[in-house]
């Protein structure tokens, strides 16, 4: 495994841990599990989640309503926030 992918995995582990702490009744989060629909995050925790993602990814995230789908799954967060340039 390359150092880049190791770093990505560590970042994703941090994100998963943060989410699991918000919803202790869930044991694990599948990459395609919808964390919005299943209320792991909601409107009131969304901003804190964005700030946490900024800290983990080291980049500023611009939030617009149309880009909420980017934050729905771990897979999308990895593709668009951790490895990508969206949002």
Contact set with another protein (CB under 8 A): 36-37, 39, 41-48, 50-51, 54-55, 60, 62-63, 65, 68
Quote the CA–CA distance of 10 and 16 in Å, as a whole number: 10
Of 39 and 75, the one with the shorter C-beta distance to another protein is 39
CB of 47 to another protein, least distance (A): 4
Question: 57: how many CB neighbours lie within 10 A of its CB?
Answer: 17
Q: Which residue has the tokens 């994100």?
A: 15
Closest-CA residue to 18 (of 44, 55, 43): 55
Of 27 and 60, the one with the shorter C-beta distance to another protein is 60
Of 4 and 43, the one with the shorter C-beta distance to another protein is 43
């Amino acid at each position: 495994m390359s150092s880049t992918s190791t770093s990505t995995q560590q970042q994703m582990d941090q994100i998963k841990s943060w989410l699991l702490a918000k919803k202790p009744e869930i044991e694990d989060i599948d990459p395609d599990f919808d964390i919005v629909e299943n209320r792991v995050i909601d409107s009131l925790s969304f901003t804190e989640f964005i700030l946490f993602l900024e800290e983990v990814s080291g980049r500023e995230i611009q939030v617009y309503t149309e880009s909420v789908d980017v934050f729905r799954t771990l897979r999308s967060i990895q593709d668009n926030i951790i490895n990508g340039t969206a949002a």
